[in-house]
Amino acid sequence: MHHKTITELSQDLHHKNISSLELTTLFLERIKKYNVKLNAFITITEEEALKAAKIADEHHAAGTAGPLTGIPLAHKDIFCTDQIKTTCGSKMLDNFIAPYDATLVEQMKQAGMILLGKTNMDEFAMGSSNENSFYGPVKNPWHTDYVTGGSSGGSAAAVAARLIPAATGTDTGGSIRQPAALCGITGLKPTYGRISRYGIIAFASSLDQAGPFAKTAEDIAHLLNVMARFDERDSSCVDAPVPDYTTTLNNPIQNMRIGLPKEYFSEGINQDVAKAIEDAIKVYEKLGATMHEISLPHTHLAVPAYYVIAPAECSSNLARYDGVRYGYRCPHPKDLEDLYKRSRSESFGAEVKRRIMIGTYALSAGYYDAYYLKAQKIRRLICNDFTEAFKKVDVILSPTSPTIAFKVGEKSSDPISMYLSDIYTIAVNLAGLPGISVPARFSKLPIGMQLIGNLFEEAKLLNVAHWYQKETDWHKHIPEGF
Partner 1 sequence: MEWETVIGLEVHAQLKTKSKIFSGASTQFGAAPNTQACAIDLGMPGVLPVLNKEAVHMAIKFALGTQSEVAHRSVFARKNYFYPDLPKGYQISQYELPVVKNGYIDVLFENGESKRIRITRAHLEEDAGKSLHEDFHGLTGIDLNRAGTPLLEIVSEPDMRSAKEAVLYLKALHTLVRYLDICDGNMQEGSFRCDANVSVRPKGESKFGTRTELKNINSFRFVERAINYEVERQIQTLESGGKILQETRLYDPNKNETRAMRSKEEANDYRYFPDPDLLPLVITDDLIEKIKSDLPELPQQKRERFISQYGLTSYDAVILSSSKEMADYYERAVLASSHPKLTANWITSELLGALNKADLEINESPIQADQIGGLVARIADNTISGKIAKTIFEALWQKEGEVDEIIENRGLKQVTDTAAIEKMIDEIIAANPSQVAEYRAGKEKLFGFFIGQAMKASGGKVNPQQLNELLKKKLMG
Kindly tell me which of 262 and 368 has the beta carbon lying closer to partner 1: 368
For partner 1, the binding residues in 306-325 under the rule CB under 8 A are: 312-313, 315-316, 318-320, 322, 324-325
Catalytic residues: 76, 151, 175
Decide if residue 245 touches partner 1 (CB under 8 A). no
CB 430 to partner 1: min, Å:
13
CB 149 to partner 1: min, Å:
23
Stretch that binds partner 1, among 179-187, 201-209, 251-259, 414-422 (CB under 8 A): 201-209
Which of residues 7, 25, 205, 251 is near partner 1 by CB under 8 A?
205
CB 330 to partner 1: min, Å:
15
Which of residues 27, 34, 41, 96 is near partner 1 by CB under 8 A?
96
Decide if residue 365 touches partner 1 (CB under 8 A). yes
Stretch that binds partner 1, among 153-161, 202-210, 281-289, 459-467 (CB under 8 A): 202-210
Decide if residue 326 touches partner 1 (CB under 8 A). yes
- Binding track, positions 268-307, relative to partner 1; x by CB under 8 A: ----------------------------------------
In SS3 terms, the chain reads as CCCCCHHHHHHHHHCCCCCHHHHHHHHHHHHHHHHHHHCCEEEECHHHHHHHHHHHHHHHHHCCCCCCCCCEEEEECCECECCEECCCCCHHHCCCECCCCCHHHHHHHHCCCEEEEEECCCHHHCCCCCCCCCCCCCCECCECCECCCCCCHHHHHHHHCCCCCCEEEECCCCCCHHHHHHHCCEEEECCCCCCCCCCECCCCCCCCCEEEEECCHHHHHHHHHHHCCCCCCCCCCCCCCCCCCCCCCCCCCCCCEEEEEHHHHCCCCCHHHHHHHHHHHHHHHHCCCEEEEECCCCHHHHHHHHHHHHHHHHHHHHHHCCCCCCCCCCCCCCCHHHHHHHHHHHHCCHHHHHHHHHHHHHHCCCCCHHHHHHHHHHHHHHHHHHHHHHHHCCEEEEECCCCCCCECCCCCCCHHHHHHCCCCCHHHHHHCCCEEEEEEEEECEEEEEEEEECCCCHHHHHHHHHHHHHHCCHHHCCCCCC
For partner 1, the binding residues in 64-83 under the rule CB under 8 A are: 79-80
Point out which residues bind partner 1 (CB under 8 A): 79-80, 86, 88, 93, 96, 98-100, 102, 197-202, 204-206, 232-236, 312-313, 315-316, 318-320, 322, 324-326, 336, 340, 360, 363-365, 368, 372
